[in-house]
Amino acid sequence: MQPQVHKGRLVFIGTGLQLAGQIGALSLSYLKQADWVFSLVPDGFTEQWIVDLNPNHASLQPFYAQGNEIKSRRDTYTQMVDAILEKVRQGLKVVVALYGHPGVFACVSHNAIAQAKLEGIDAKMLPGISAEACLWADLSIDPGRSGHQSYEATQFLLYNHVPNPKTHLLLWQIALAGEPTLTAFSTTKSRLQVLVEHLSQWYPLSHEVIIYEAANLPVQSPRIDRIQLQDLPDARLEMISTLLIPPAKTLSLNLAMCERLGFTEAELG
């Protein structure tokens, strides 16, 4: 009779956007009880808070390019997944704490969970408070009123996406717009100008847009900079900057559909 191999367990959790205050109770429980914790968070305060809760910890940050090193983030993410799964294969209960929501703009979580499941390892993800959730709260916007569309900025440029100017448009990772190589951490003014010209098909150049950054610490305030679309190439952009483009047109009723459903325009107010 062969000895039974003890399989570990993998759980990805989100720390939310603000230190300590936006993590769920279940995620906090997993974090405290883990045999080993990996983290990828934006500041030393959050990392130290994690270490205080569970000292069996390693940061994933060193896998990124260091100094003048040129390194594809694809390679970085692969190395992160390998490091995580190496611990899980040792039979440990491993928790990976990621900034914000662990499944939003976080391929490491999806790739690691998929590989773990292929190996018969219990793996799952718990939701976290995302930058988008903070954005709606900080800007007092109900996205249900007119709807919204959401794209990664470079993907928006490279693919045939057609935005609806009657809804809110979110462009994520705006500081990397037009940079598909995954080796740089910023874009150029000329590429941002291309984005502006592309957007001008649907939005006036004078249309007000918002550069948004959620606060990382309770003592901070979110960044909410309102500028004209044409001024975007000269704006200060950070890795965490998101571009919100409010509706440029008002919603209009589909009168044919209203008739099919038995409603009149007057009844819908």
Percent of the chain with pLDDT over 70: 97
User: 37: exposed, middle or buried (C-beta count within 10 Å: 0-12, 13-18, 19+)?
Assistant: buried
The CATH number for 193's domain is: 3.30.950
pLDDT, position 185: 83
Pair (166, 231) in one structural domain? yes
Residue 62, token pair as written in the block: 């060193």
Catalytic residue chosen out of the listed positions 9, 30, 64, 77: 77
Mean pLDDT calculated for residue range 95-107: 95
Crossing angle of helices 25-33 and 44-53, rounded to 10°? 70
Pair (181, 110) in one structural domain? no
Greater pLDDT, 67 or 257? 257
Q: What distance in Å separates the CA atoms of residue 103 and residue 132, rounded to the nearest whole number?
A: 13
Pair (137, 111) in one structural domain? no
Phi, psi (deg, nearest 5) at residue 174 = -65, -25
Range of the domain at 239: 132-245
Check if 203 is active-site: no
pLDDT, position 6: 60
Check if 74 is active-site: no
Catalytic residue chosen out of the listed positions 9, 30, 74, 99: 99
Check if 77 is active-site: yes
In a domain, 254, yes or no: no
pLDDT band per the 50, 70, 90 thresholds, residue 3 = very low
The CATH number for 97's domain is: 3.40.1010.10
Per the rule left: phi > 0, alpha: psi between -120 and 50, beta: everything else, 120 is: left
Neighbouring residues of 244: CB distance < 8 A, sequence distance ≥ 6? 135, 139, 168, 169, 170, 209, 210, 212
Which of 107, 129, 151 is the last residue before a domain boundary? 129
Q: What distance in Å separates the CA atoms of residue 123 and residue 109, rounded to the nearest whole number?
A: 10
The partner residues of 125 in beta bridges, in order of sequence, read 12
**Is pLDDT above 70 for 60?**
yes
Greater pLDDT, 20 or 120? 120
In a domain, 258, yes or no: no
Catalytic residue chosen out of the listed positions 73, 89, 151, 223: 73
pLDDT, position 13: 98
Pair (140, 120) in one structural domain? no
Mean pLDDT of the residues in the chain: 93
